[in-house]
Structure 1
Amino acid sequence: MYIEAKALVKQFGLRTIVNNMDVSIQANEIIAIIGPNGAGKSTMLEMLIGLQKPSSGTIWYWDSGFKGKIGVQLQAVPFFPALSAMENLLLFASFYKKSISKEEAMNCLEICGIQDAAHTEAVKLSGGQQKRLAIAVAIMHEPTLIFLDEPTAALDPRNRQDIHNLMLELQQQGKTIVFTSHDMDEVHQLATRVLVIDHGKIIAAGEPAELCNKYDAASLTQLYMKLTREDESYA
């Protein structure tokens, strides 16, 4: 077990964004977190990563130095202007107090399929290349647990499949991956376990096929439509 959270609650003023969630993350899983925009997915992840403190509830981590063993890819990574992809990677490595050589940085870029753009200014990379660089930043310190926030959003089919292959390769190397997505085909292809979140609560959890069978859904898309609601607007 890497993380076990109990009765997580997060409130902003009078609004309850995360409402009494229990979450566990175990070794070598690929966990997909799905749900409507504003349902509490990102806030829950930010608490698990340690970026936000819960209003109440507890979070147990497998290691006191867990922050150095977690990799995070955010939807928008603030790459440093005027620095190349490699220079950004080396700089981010220093934030983890990890010294990596240019050869090691190039190997990480190659793993993510972006070695040809190593010396291109990061902010001038295409959307797909920036996504790959963001994942390189998340894995360059060889984390045990990797969080990916919509890693294939807005990518073309070829880039999307390349990211899928990378995620599966990372799992084969013994990594645990937690990712968010609105692409149900992607979730079905990758996830060993799915958490469905709506209105700040986990309303269903399990293996994709198991959940579809339980709720008599022909696909994860149908499952999503059955379980999530649109009777309230989200912020």
Structure 2
Amino acid sequence: MKKLISANQLTKNYKARCVVDHINIDIKEGEIVAIVGTNGAGKTTTISMLLGIIPQDSGTIEYWTSDYKKEIGTQLQSTPFFEGYSVEDNVKLFAAFYGISLTKNEIDEKLTAFDLLQVKKTPAIKLSLGQQKRLAIIVTTLHHPKLVILDEPSAGLDPRGQRDIQQIIKRLKDSRVAVLFSSHDMLEVMNVADRVLIMHHGKIMANGSPDGLMEHYQTQNLEELFFELTM
């Protein structure tokens, strides 16, 4: 599979504290990669560097194209929907930012695929948290990106909402879209990730497939492995 991102020896310091410490990350086409770690492990800082939001202090990041920002879809922990505008209108407005004009039928098809057609006239800010997260992924993928980056996409959701997000991530993979997501939920990671990176104090403690890591470290599940590596 073609590499979309290859990051080598990335480091980021805030004042006297090293929050990302010489890490290496590769993301390949059609691959689902999960970053897991406790709060403050460096997950969000790593994602921000990969997106070019903040610069790394040292290390290199190579992308598959010079216009990579146009080919990446990003959903951070909150998406600023247009207040006072409906779900349908938010899709239109975000599409316009990408220079995309969608017909009514095309919008309805997207909303149907994410189980949002019945609320298309509802103001986006009045949706439930799960509905807002699904809408956020719609607007994140309107321009058909090669890579989608999701920062804790299922945080705060009930089991049904978590399942919905997991199914969406799997559908993206079926379309050959690579997904990088952060999570605290080891069961979610086990269910959807091809590869998992376990971060602790800015370092990558383990990198591999969930099954491969459990076999290598002789643990029964990812949660046990996580605690073993981050104690």
Same fold by TM-score, threshold 0.5 exceeded?
yes
Gaps of 5+ in 1: 230-235
Q: Is 1:200 matched with 2:202?
A: yes
Q: 1:107 — aligned with what?
A: 109
Check the 8 A contact 1:68/1:143 in 2, yes or no.
yes
Residues 98-121 of structure 1: per-residue CA shift (max 9 Å, x gap): 333333232222222212111110
Q: What displacement does 1:95 show?
A: 2.4
The count of corresponding residues between Structure 1 and Structure 2 is: 229
Counterpart for residue 82 of structure 1: 84
Stretches of structure 2 that go unaligned for 5 or more consecutive residues are: none
Q: Partners of 1:86 and 1:156 in 2: how far apart?
A: 25
1:32 to 31, 34, 55: 34
> Hey, what's the Cα distance between the residues in 2 that align with 1:107 and 1:221?
38
Which residue of structure 2 aligns with residue 64 of structure 1? Answer: 66
Report how far residue 199 of structure 1 moved.
0.5
Q: Give how far 1:144 is off.
A: 0.8
Q: What TM-score, normalized by structure 2, do the two folds share?
A: 0.95
Give the 3-state SS of the residue equivalent to 2:95 in structure 1: helix
- Corresponding residue SS for 1:224: helix
Separation in structure 2 between the aligned mates of residue 3 and residue 43 of structure 1, nearest angstrom: 16
The match for 2:118 among 116, 119, 137 is 116
**Secondary structure, aligned partner of 2:187:** helix
Find the counterpart in structure 2 of residue 43 from structure 1. 45
1:98: which partner in 2?
100
**Which AA in structure 2 matches 1:148?**
L
Partner residue in 1 for 2:160: 158
SS in 2 for 1:2: strand
Give the Å deviation of 1:154: 1.6
**1:210 equivalent in structure 2:** 212
| Cα deviation digits, residues 73-109 of structure 1 (max 9, x gap) | 1111111110111211222222233333333232222
Q: Which residue matches 2:137?
A: 135
Structure 1's 106 and 52: CA in aligned 2 closer, same or farther, altered over 3 A?
farther
- Residues 172-226 of structure 1: CA deviation (Å, up to 9, x unaligned): 1111111111111111111110000110111110000110111111100100110
TM-score by length of 1: 0.93
**How far did 1:166 drift?**
1.6
**Contact 1:112–1:135, Cα closer than 8 Å, also in 2:** no
Quote the sequence identity (%). 44
CA contact (8 A) 1:31 1:179 kept: yes
Quick one: distance in 2 between partners of 1:100 and 1:60?
33
Q: Which deviations, in whole Å up to 9, do the C-alpha atoms of 1:104-158 show, x marking residues without a partner?
A: 2322222222121111101111111111111111111111101111111121222
**CA distance in structure 2 between the partners assigned to 1:50 and 1:87 by the alignment:** 29
CA RMSD of aligned residues (A): 1.2
Q: Give the aligned residue type for 1:104.
A: E
Name the residue aligned to 1:182. Answer: 184
